[in-house]
Chains A and B, each alone.
Chain A
């Protein structure tokens, strides 16, 4: 029995401890905002937060999160200033296209801006290069992160 927390709620999992966290979230908890894209930490569609870090849920065994809290896109606090700024900027800059990768993009962007309110282009690249987007929304993602940073008072 593996006990951990998802978005602050206690969860127990009694099945195969090697099950990737992604599939526990999707198949067992019904939290489908965390997306399956590649299964080997190449695309970032499954990005979640563990202890404030952006992590790829497809490549973390559920046993590895025992006792920890996992935050998913569904668990982002709407009133959190960083979450609010990122989502508002995403809408304002009309970032999304198909939208499939965007929960992962937003999770990576929130993790970045939570630590660094004024990221440089290189820091944005560094934080976001693990998140693929086949629609090519990258130019607007970059703009949106800068907009969000500016609204959070980040100056550069």
Chain B
């Protein structure tokens, strides 16, 4: 190893937030309100400088309580504060909050990024922080000038007062920090907004373009070792024997450690650890019961789906379907899906005996902190967790069992040197915590006029929520709401809708995956409604509108998507349109997909989306999230699938776990529909559910066949 090169890299340590200390001037913390009731008591109040710092140079640093993993919160949350603070937007910076109770997601009652809730839960809180800080700055100026605060005004980072007096926020910050925090502040009326609703470019673009953003993978620490873990070949299998003979001779390998989830090989570099792991021989104890095959699982699910399960929604008359003039019966199959974020999972840990420090791109900072503390036998506050920018996540970095965090901590505890655990892409694809496989069976009937008279719906699949801390409020009477969301609460006026759920158990770890239950329920609802429209001989848009008469937001997005896509207008030969509309995370999204069949495969040319997400905070990031959600959803619908044979995952990397590439990406148009709501609703996920059924409905027009097995690459289309 070239020494000069090596040492130089070791000396380049990660910059800590301590570098900006000294600029701290204003800060306060707002007590939680409206949080759901499963948090461990009320967070302790008064953590100074929680959300906002104003430097003497006027720089406004907003502490963003949510993980930035692409969705744009390091721009949209500062916008909320800046709107009320009346600061100079060009002087606003963002910083990710560490683990801490003051950073709770008010919709969860604990710190966490998920459920498309980052902006909506911060909406009141962050604007209030901005208004309070502005009030304190104005009070400070008024006190200095011995005038009434009402005679002073704040704008663009400047407070002005009578007689031409003026002072910058930077000049006032220190005095403002000593002012009492006003309990009640008036927030601006929407007509006075200067930032909210205005297309605002991301704060983090330049540093990302210059590759200066430090992701978890990029963390540098002195004497940092790298660990790879050999996981069991079958979920739940245990180590029966370890032979590390061949590992010993590999230069740079320092430790082989058995941990709860497998065997770790630690080295001085990634490559040393990788070679060590490749050379490691482990015998596994694999009980027969763990050797699951996904095709057998699907067959079992299909058998179960023939009978109703425990009720999620009771039909007024389950036999009403017998009066139908026409019935449609269908069975749907959905595979396991991996999240596959671009940045493979990783976690850096320094365990120093009485305390520990962790660097991770975490969606659940406090849960991960708690899990780490448990491994070390420390109190949670002795574990400092730095939230790093994350290269995507889509739910995978929000794991109630903190799987890879625990692995890293177990290794660090054992070897007592700083260590970065890196999962390879193979570890990621084979590593479980998948969107579970599901089977649906639907029998639906219409009368002679095309009115839905009965709809019996059976869902089969494992629960994502059971056994997690969320069970208390998401599982009721044995029904995991996330297994049936989008069906049991369908806005469609469906007479005698009955929904039952068979909750299965398997050794395959499951997790929420961008849009959770809606990933499969929207597909079934929107293709079945489309099929009923065809059975009734009605236009799919008109048929939906009639069933959604009491839901103006749905009707508005349907009309916008249809109009912008040229619904009903002629298309080139061999192309067809399909439509779908779905509500999730408080928002409603309609999409029209324009599709053709090429060489037996489905090709998507254009997707037109219309979204009602309540108040739009930043149209640029909302548009980006809808594009993103569509690409993510299309990947799954067209290509992605995890299968298992005798317990072994058969995919390993992007060559056999297909995801969309640029040449497969359609033209995407996003239209934001003015909302009747006075607050923001979800943005990150609602664009994912409708794209699959919109494509499938177009395929049905082209081929006369209704796609019911995902991904579509499994079918030969003509």
Cα distance A97–B215 in the bound complex, in angstroms: 13
Given contacts A35-B217, A100-B392, contact A141 B662 (CB under 8 A): yes
The A-contacting residues of B in range 317-350, CB under 8 angstroms, are: 340-344
B16 at the interface (CB under 8 A from A): no
A91 in contact with B201 (CB, 8 Å): yes
The A-contacting residues of B in range 205-229, CB under 8 angstroms, are: 205-206, 208-215, 217-218, 220, 226
B655 in contact with A16 (CB, 8 Å): no
Cα distance A28–B218 in the bound complex, in angstroms: 13
Across-interface contacts of A15 in B (CB, < 8 A): 1, 251-252
Across-interface contacts of A39 in B (CB, < 8 A): 424-426, 653
Cα distance A16–B213 in the bound complex, in angstroms: 29
Q: From the candidates B1, B390, B662, name the one contacting A28 in the complex (CB within 8 A).
A: B1
Report the stretch among B5-13, B484-492, B692-700 that lies at the interface.
Answer: B5-13
Cα distance A63–B425 in the bound complex, in angstroms: 24
Given contacts A40-B655, A99-B204, contact A23 B391 (CB under 8 A): no
B624 in contact with A37 (CB, 8 Å): no
Cα distance A131–B665 in the bound complex, in angstroms: 13
Cα distance A120–B594 in the bound complex, in angstroms: 22
Across-interface contacts of A32 in B (CB, < 8 A): 211, 214, 217-218, 220
A98 in contact with B218 (CB, 8 Å): no
A79 at the interface (CB under 8 A from B): no
A96 at the interface (CB under 8 A from B): yes
Cα distance A97–B1 in the bound complex, in angstroms: 36
Given contacts A28-B5, A99-B213, contact A139 B665 (CB under 8 A): yes
Q: From the candidates B72, B218, B340, B624, name the one contacting A134 in the complex (CB within 8 A).
A: B340
A96 in contact with B208 (CB, 8 Å): yes
A129 in contact with B663 (CB, 8 Å): yes
Cα distance A95–B202 in the bound complex, in angstroms: 9
Which of A87, A97, A141 is most buried by chain B, counting CB atoms within 10 A of its CB? Answer: A97
Cα distance A87–B344 in the bound complex, in angstroms: 25
Across-interface contacts of A33 in B (CB, < 8 A): 211-212
Q: How many residues of B contact A (CB 8 A)?
A: 70
Nearest B residue to A103, CB-CB: B211
B70 in contact with A106 (CB, 8 Å): no
Across-interface contacts of A137 in B (CB, < 8 A): 624, 627-628
A113 at the interface (CB under 8 A from B): no
Across-interface contacts of A36 in B (CB, < 8 A): 217, 270, 344, 422
Which DSSP category, helix, strand, loop or mixed, fits chain A's interface?
loop
Cα distance A60–B72 in the bound complex, in angstroms: 34
The B-contacting residues of A in range 124-145, CB under 8 angstroms, are: 124-126, 128-142
Q: From the candidates A23, A30, A130, name the one contacting B8 in the complex (CB within 8 A).
A: A30
B514: min CB distance to chain A, Å: 10
Cα distance A49–B583 in the bound complex, in angstroms: 45
B289: min CB distance to chain A, Å: 33
Q: From the candidates B205, B271, B275, name the one contacting A91 in the complex (CB within 8 A).
A: B205
A87 in contact with B391 (CB, 8 Å): no
A140 in contact with B208 (CB, 8 Å): no
Across-interface contacts of A139 in B (CB, < 8 A): 627, 665, 667-668
A73 in contact with B392 (CB, 8 Å): no
Which of B9, B252, B632 is most buried by chain A, counting CB atoms within 10 A of its CB? Answer: B9
Given contacts A42-B654, A132-B659, A138-B665, contact A29 B9 (CB under 8 A): yes
A90 in contact with B209 (CB, 8 Å): yes
Given contacts A39-B424, A42-B653, contact A136 B209 (CB under 8 A): no
Residue ranges of B at the interface with A (Cβ–Cβ < 8 Å): 1-2, 5-6, 8-9, 12, 68-72, 201-202, 204-206, 208-215, 217-218, 220, 226, 251-252, 269-271, 275, 340-344, 389-392, 394, 422, 424-426, 620-621, 624, 627-632, 635, 653-655, 659-663, 665, 667-668
Residue ranges of A at the interface with B (Cβ–Cβ < 8 Å): 11-16, 19-20, 23, 26-30, 32-33, 35-40, 42-43, 45, 73-74, 87, 90-91, 94-103, 106, 124-126, 128-142
Known A30-B9, A98-B343; further 17 A-B contacts with Cβ < 8 A: A11-B2, A15-B252, A20-B271, A23-B270, A29-B5, A30-B220, A35-B215, A36-B270, A43-B342, A87-B209, A91-B205, A94-B624, A96-B202, A101-B342, A136-B629, A136-B630, A142-B662
